[in-house]
Amino acid sequence: MAKNLFVGSLPWSVNDEQLAQIFAEAGSVDSARVITERDTGRSKGFGFVEMATEEEAKKAVETLNGKEIEGRAITVNEARPREER
């Protein structure tokens, strides 16, 4: 079963493809998405990555949490379920 991860403190320049490449070192990436502002299309500095298995998701959290990318230490943890508005 796929596991969704939250990735915070991303540099503004990181796009979906780069995010997927970063997480590919921990395992199979099903999807990677950098969240952008609706009006400007500029990155909000966080995103979500869906890993193929629970084990790969745990490995990604262990190996990538705190990793420095373009001078910023990223935060990686399990994503919380989306709340209804």
Write out the chain's pLDDT in tens, 85 residues: 679 999 999 999 999 999 999 999 999 999 999 999 999 999 999 999 999 999 999 999 999 999 999 999 999 999 998 888 7
Provide the CATH topology of domain 3-73.
Alpha-Beta Plaits (3.30.70)
Residues with Cβ < 8 Å from 3, sequence gap 6 or more?
A: 50, 51, 53, 54, 56, 57, 78
Structure tokens at 76: 């990686």
CB 77 within 8 A of CB 58: no
Per domain, the residue ranges of the chain are 3-73
